[in-house]
């Protein structure tokens, strides 16, 4: 461990022993109830900080502040000025990136080898939204009415946004909600996940430092059933941008009905990753492995249903198992670590439960398969890369999202069959195909019902490329030009000129 990592594990500059507060109307305030909850380091089980437990009362205050800001001077702030604010935030995030990435590692466990690598994406997203702030425009449309009429459209910010995010990428998901809100001239109340609230709070400090006016960005930490539910049902919220599980997504749709607020949903998946016998196996082995093991499998688009052509199935699955066994599992602060802990004891229970179900249903764990309890790892929530062989489509581990480092490897015989089986799921977020045959690659890419298809790679992401789901993986897109439309209303204007 380097000195900074030793220091970080002892005391990160943000972890100063003081309870973390809510950001409402530009001021840091305690929860109205005075309550706090603990944020935990999943590698050690230690309490990192006490965090304000905001609830419906605090959401009310935050929504009022966001509404006031939206209807006040923020409404008149020009796109160029919003662009400058986003560029300033990007500069600050870049400057403080080491601190932010260590905070992500401490709070949710992802190794620094991963969180440090996210710099280009996090800063790039902010600069991408900055660019988009001055690219918002309506259209002049030729109409066919008799007489003389000019018709054009205006794009206007939708209003107050409620952003609700999970814990698996706290910095990135915060930016994915806050960036487009500022770019479009909306205001936002962000509700981070209770398991990883610290990076969003530090990001909020930087946003204030950048000069974003009070009330434009508010952060209310707290529990989903209280703060999250209050935000998604609040009549003063115009749109909810949610990332999380499909079950919570369903609650949010119901909660949004009161004022018919707009909703965009980035939900879970059970993504197929298809390996043909003609693939470059030296690339496909680590590629298919990291498609699931990265972030300990806590990635919504992880390629967890690994379909392997039968003639290479035994050899390939064995090689992925060996690859998994070769990855270094440990405390994410160690730069050598490739696989950190799961985020919480609850998540550990959930994943180990699926490991047991897999074994009971007759799958064979050829790598991993049980929690690690040796030495220092016993204190954290560590599950090693796991590969289940002999999996069939009907098994629970082939159907349900595990959200752990668990591959379910399934044999297939031909392309039409694997397309049909790959699509036989309620989800449709990510998907992968490994082949040297261009025709096969195109056919599979066109046929899979998923928001992203990765060919001879997995999990490639860029701020300019849209990401989102088909089917029960949600609707709406984040990233790309479509993203801003989620935060904009379209107004048609008619002028009789004749
Ligand atoms: P989750 O339980 O749905 O929680 C996500 C967020 O919703 C958290 O902030 C949570 O608060 C909040 N929440 C919980 N119940 C709520 C309610 N009734 N009303 C409003 N908000 C509520 O999901 P998770 O376990 O944190 O994350 C894992 C899931 O997210 C997986 O299914 C994964 O696939 C999905 N995910 C999807 C994407 C994507 O882009 N598609 C990205 C990452 C994760 P608390 O946690 O504080 O209770
Ligand atoms: Mg934590």
Contact in structure between 331 and 380 (CB atoms under 8 Å): yes
Residues 226-271: pLDDT tens digits?
999 999 999 999 999 999 999 999 999 999 999 999 999 999 999 9
What is the number of the ligand 1 atom nearest to the C-alpha of 192?
Answer: 9
What is the number of the ligand 1 atom nearest to the C-alpha of 229?
Answer: 19
Residues 6+ apart with CB under 8 A from 55: 31, 32, 33, 35, 222, 223, 226, 227, 230
Q: How far is ligand 1, taken at its centre, from the CA of residue 192, in Å?
A: 9
Which residues of the chain, if any, have pLDDT below 50?
3-4
Residues 190-202: pLDDT tens digits?
999 999 999 999 9
Residues 6+ apart with CB under 8 A from 390: 362, 363, 364
Atom 12 of ligand 1, residue of closest alpha carbon:
224
Q: How far is ligand 2, taken at its centre, from the CA of residue 41, in Å?
A: 5
Residues 122-143: pLDDT tens digits?
999 999 999 999 999 999 999 9
Contact in structure between 246 and 475 (CB atoms under 8 Å): no
Q: Which of 195, 201, 272 is nearest to 444 (CA)?
A: 272
Residue 350 CB neighbour total at 10 angstroms: 15
Q: Which of 137, 155, 111, 163 is nearest to 5 (CA)?
A: 111
Which residue numbers are catalytic?
266, 300
pLDDT value, residue 6: 60
Q: Which of 231, 353, 234, 306 is nearest to 458 (CA)?
A: 306
Atom 23 of ligand 1, residue of closest alpha carbon:
244
For a mutational test of ligand 1's pocket, the pick from 56, 58, 248, 426, i.e. the residue with the most ligand atoms closer than 8 A to its C-beta, is 248
pLDDT value, residue 11: 76
What is the C-alpha separation between 200 and 192, in angstroms, rounded? 7
What is the C-alpha separation between 333 and 208, in angstroms, rounded? 28
What is the C-alpha separation between 340 and 385, in angstroms, rounded? 10
What is the C-alpha separation between 103 and 203, in angstroms, rounded? 11
Q: How far is ligand 1, taken at its centre, from the CA of residue 45, in Å?
A: 21
What is the C-alpha separation between 24 and 472, in angstroms, rounded? 33
Q: Give me the residues paired with residue 23 across strands.
A: 28, 219
Q: How far is ligand 2, taken at its centre, from the CA of residue 15, in Å?
A: 12
Q: Please compute Rg for the chain using Cα positions.
A: 23
* Edge-to-edge strand list for the sheet holding 262-266: 27-29, 22-24, 217-219, 187-191, 160-164, 239-243, 262-266
What is the C-alpha separation between 360 and 304, in angstroms, rounded? 19
Exposure of 158 in the CB half-sphere (CA atoms within 13 A): 24
Q: Which ligand is nearest to the Cα of residue 55, counting in written order? A: 1
Pocket of ligand 1 (CB under 6 A): 164-168, 191, 193-194, 223-225, 228-229, 232, 243-245, 248, 251-252, 266-269, 300, 401, 403, 429
Q: Which of 433, 474, 471, 429 is nearest to 452 (CA)?
A: 429
Q: What is the share, in percent, of the chain residues with pLDDT greater than 90?
A: 97
Q: How far is ligand 2, taken at its centre, from the CA of residue 166, in Å?
A: 12
Residue tagged 């397309």 (tokens) = 419
pLDDT value, residue 2: 54
Q: Which ligand is nearest to the Cα of residue 105, counting in written order? A: 2
What is the C-alpha separation between 96 and 7, in angstroms, rounded? 16
Atom 19 of ligand 1, residue of closest alpha carbon:
229
What is the C-alpha separation between 328 and 325, in angstroms, rounded? 8
What is the C-alpha separation between 251 and 253, in angstroms, rounded? 5
Q: Which ligand is nearest to the Cα of residue 341, counting in written order? A: 2
pLDDT value, residue 7: 55
């Amino acid at each position: 461990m380097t000195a900074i990592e030793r220091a970080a594990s002892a005391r990160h500059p943000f972890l100063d022993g003081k309870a973390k507060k809510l950001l409402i109307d530009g001021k840091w305030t305690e929860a109205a109830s005075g309550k706090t909850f603990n944020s935990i380091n999943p590698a050690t089980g230690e309490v990192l900080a006490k965090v304000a437990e905001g609830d419906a009362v605090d959401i009310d205050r935050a929504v009022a502040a966001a509404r006031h800001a939206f209807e006040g001077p923020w409404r008149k702030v020009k796109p160029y000025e919003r662009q400058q604010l986003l560029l300033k935030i990007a500069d600050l995030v870049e400057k403080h990136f080491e601190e932010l990435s260590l905070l992500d590692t401490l709070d949710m466990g992802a190794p620094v080898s991963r969180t440090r690598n996210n710099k280009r994406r996090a800063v790039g997203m902010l600069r991408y939204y900055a660019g988009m702030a001055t690219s918002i425009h309506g259209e002049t449309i030729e109409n066919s009415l008799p007489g003389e009429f000019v018709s054009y459209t205006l794009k206007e910010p939708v209003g107050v946004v409620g952003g609700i995010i999970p814990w698996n990428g706290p910095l990135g998901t915060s930016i994915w909600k806050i960036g487009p809100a500022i770019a479009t001239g909306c205001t936002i109340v962000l509700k981070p996940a209770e398991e990883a609230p610290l990076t969003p709070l530090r990001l909020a400090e930087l946003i204030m430092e950048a000069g974003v006016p009070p009330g434009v960005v508010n952060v209310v930490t707290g529990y989903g059933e209280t703060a999250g539910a209050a935000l998604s049902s609040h009549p003063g919220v115009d749109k909810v941008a949610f990332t999380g599980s499909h079950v919570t997504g369903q609650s949010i749709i119901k909660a949004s009905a009161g004022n018919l607020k707009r909703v965009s949903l980035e939900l879970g998946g059970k993504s197929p990753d298809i390996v043909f016998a003609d693939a470059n196996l030296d690339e496909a082995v680590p590629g298919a492995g990291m498609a699931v093991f990265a972030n300990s499998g806590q990635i919504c688009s992880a390629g967890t249903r690994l379909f392997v052509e039968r003639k290479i199935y035994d050899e390939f699955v064995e090689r992925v198992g060996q690859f998994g066994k070769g990855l270094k599992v440990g405390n994410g602060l160690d730069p050598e670590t490739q696989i950190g802990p799961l985020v919480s004891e609850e998540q550990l229970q959930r994943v180990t439960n699926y490991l047991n179900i897999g074994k009971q249903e007759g799958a064979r764990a050829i790598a991993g398969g049980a929690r690690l309890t040796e030495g220092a790892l016993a204190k954290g929530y560590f599950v090693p890369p796991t590969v289940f062989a002999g999996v069939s489509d009907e098994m629970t581990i082939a159907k349900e999202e595990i959200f752990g480092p668990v591959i379910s490897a399934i044999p297939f015989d031909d392309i039409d069959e694997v397309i049909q089986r790959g699509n036989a799921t309620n989800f449709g977020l990510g998907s992968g195909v490994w082949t040297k045959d261009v025709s096969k690659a195109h056919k599979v890419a066109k046929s899979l019902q998923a928001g992203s298809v990765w060919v001879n790679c997995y999990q490639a992401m860029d701020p300019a490329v849209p990401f989102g789901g088909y089917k029960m993986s949600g609707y709406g897109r984040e990233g790309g030009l479509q993203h801003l439309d989620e935060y904009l209303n379209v107004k048609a204007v008619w002028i009789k000129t004749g």
